[in-house]
Structure 1
Amino acid sequence: MTRNLVQIWILGSLAALGSWACGEAADVGQEAHDVLEGGGSLTRLADGIELFVEYPHQVEGLESEEPWEIHLTRQEGWRPVEADAVTLTMIGPSGARRNVSAEDEAPGIYEAVPTPTAAGIWQAEFSLRVEGREYTILAGPFVVFASEEDVEAAPATTGPIALSKQEQWSFPFGVAVAEEREIPASIPAAGELVAPPGGLVQVSAPVAGLVRVEGPSFGPGDFVRAGQTLALIAPISLDNSYARTRADVVAAEREAERAEGLFEAGAISARRLEEARRDLNVAEAAFEAIGGTPGSVGDSVGGGDLDSGLYRLRSPISGVITAREVALGQQIDIGGHAFTIVNAATLWFVARVPARYAPEANRIRGAWFTVEGDASAYTASRVLSVGSVIDPDNRTLPVRFAVPNPDRTLKVGMLAEGRILLGDPQRGVAVPTAAIQNENGLSVIYVKVTGSTFERRVVDAGASDGSWTLVSSGVDLGEEVVTAGAYQVSLASLGTSAPSDGHGH
């Protein structure tokens, strides 16, 4: 009797699952069914709500020894659903329906205590009222045994990793469905972010003098425009100084003007005029070499105030000051570093491609990467240059990409790690990249089996675009994988995840 009933239960469960999946699953979502020590669990997704039910074994004519625990989770944000009413409807083998109201135990958790009236395969249906909206979810089949002896003979399976709903709700958690996607082939690469030529400048003093300030005093973090005065320098020596060199230009200009007048009057030869012009060119070149602007005499010569003899230290680019090395009243020598200015609107990602991938360099079409301390994936679609020489020290080939950085999130000097995208795409089962964990050098994902059970699987990760990664083994199309909270699932597999309230749901 017992053996026959167990066989009928197994065959009936399979038949019920098959007919139910063909008829209803497309309307309400995805299903998982697991038998737990004569009882079981049911997981359903419907209209953005996950219904997860754990129930003990059921015996004909007896009230359930333990309540059915009903967990409701809103998929967006993975938070518990507080329903106004939850009703369990049990549909027996003969089609009879029995309604059992569920009691509110905690936010998102409800309990129902049914009394089935006949042995056999039953169907569970749940009615929810959430914020005035009605939901009806057909949860699937469950078995009712004729006696306790039949329960002992029933097979039981358990999910390998258990993580209760209350634990899931207590930290950021999320799942996603494995999809079929087309992703470009890629190769791994690490590198760093650097400023492009002209994007980072060191402003140095072309003259020796004392630092003075006119107007606002600029420091690290301040934005300055090209040509804006950063500081004034009062020369402290005439020898090779800005003031002396500027005076040479003024004297040479006057001599050249005088020579032109004399030549027109026929008082000097053309050779003497050419010598005066040559002396002016030499003086202007010397003045320009220390940052002056030759040819301007009047209120300003080379950015310096003619009357006071002050040199204006100007910003050559628009950008943000990242360092200031001089203080008011400080003496600075010729060539002394005064300011560092960076324009980070566009940076370069200099990727170091391992030498073994160098033959693929002619297929490079872009890259994606992450930077230290940030899990976000950044893309670079413009290839600036591909190196022609393998670095003999680290055996890598440099590849440079332009990276737009309008909000200045990326910083010069950040280390980056990502993948170089090649031309030919590959199609296959893909999971969000965030779902893949590196555990002792292995690529691991956690697959949701039921609402509170998971499987750890080692996968063979392939091409990735930064957001999605192809996996050639370990997960099937349509399975749900953990994208946030995988570390907590991993702890649960080791038995080190403590329940949040001592409740073992």
Structure 2
Amino acid sequence: MRWKKTVPVIAAAIAGACIALAAFALTRGSSTDAALASASIGSSGSSQPAQHRGTILNADGVTVEIVLSEKADDARLIVYPSVNGQPVNSGVSVRAVLTRFDGTTENIPFVAAGDRFTSTQPIAKPHVFDATIEVTRNGKPARFAYSRADGTVTLSPQQTQAAGIELQKAGPANIASTVQMPGEIRFNEDRTAHVVPRVAGIVERVAVSVGENVSKGQLLAVIASTDLADRRSELLTAERRLAATQTLYERERTLWQERISAEQDYLQAQVQLREAQIVTENARQKLSALNAAVNRGPLNQYELRAPFAGTIVAKHATAGEAITADANLFTLSDLSTVWAEIAVPAQHLNDVRVGREATVNATAFDSTSGGQIAYVGSLLGEQTRSAPARVVLPNPDRVWRPGMFVNVSVNAGQQSVPVAISDDAVQDINGVPTVFVGSSKGFVAQSVKTGRKDNRVVEVLSGLRAGQQYVAANSFVLKAELGKGSAEEE
């Protein structure tokens, strides 16, 4: 019968090896119940098979199988109590105290359903906790220790230092609040003109092309105009009449001073001189209104010149074409400055104000420029319920072209938030913003809800409390290590 004595020894050796392997698996925080059972304290194992693939624990004559049901956003603790291998539910109640990795505790009540007891509330992630589960049967309590360490990464101090991992405490901070809106580059309308000839006629010559840079006063086109010829003739006639009247006035004044002619003749000559002066000045002002030279070339030749320095962005003139006095022959724009126009939603009107700094980023290529809000409309659009606003941008290198789409960020000032962390600390894990938090069980991947942010810090709305330690630098190392652990478990 020696082989009967050998069986318990072999079984004990196998059990010891399993416990060692389970302890090794804890290095990355395995999510399997078998591994987590080895982390339980104050309980004894059992050779009874786990019918529900859970953790079996014994205490005070009561056996429990504990399972954490893994359902999306609704994980629950389930306890199957039994005595001598038989399920019991009569005269049995179950409750638990769950202590999370950050020290917070939760009282978890259970409700009976057949041979199992299910927690009445879901167990929120991360599933890193120590739970004391109390099963009371006929007034006698039995307590079981149950632990989980899902989604944890354990590194030695040497590994932590080598990876450059730095811990900081979450806490209040001032965040530079910004409002981001799409926009479009437009011409600076204060420096854009539709150049018209002011006289009707025939285009004789066009001196510039689209895209050409011109200086102030540069010739744009030559126009033959009968209207201009009439006005110049009118001025020449008035000037000659004025000269004759001036001569007559001086002669009559001399004769009157020498008492040769009557004073009436002198006064009449004086009136005629003043009338001639008025007629001449009127003819000269008519030509000035046309921006036409008084005496330059043929009488019918009109030279259309640039009113200021800029770029010809549109041309509607061709040699031989008949034009009217109000025809738009050229569009001239000074592109040294442009407008970034945006539509400001009603909820952001208090943040977007005249004088506030704004940053404009091109969407098509890497280019950034800064400016100030120069205008915010007083009325909201009936369809968009937004107000127009614009930023005046310097454009010395002509990088910003009208029609280009941009993103505009407006500095809305500093705002204080109760909990903030370094922007580099946030990692995207399965599409969820996640922060690694330091704990006694290792680094825990804690999902968070973020709010406002700037280029330094980001606000945490939930998932992290002020004073908690988190990984502020090189958290991507832990993300990679966590990914390795998940791949190995699969």
Give the TM-score normalised by the residue count of structure 1: 0.48
As a proportion of its length, which structure holds more helix?
Answer: 2
Give the TM-score normalised by the residue count of structure 2: 0.50
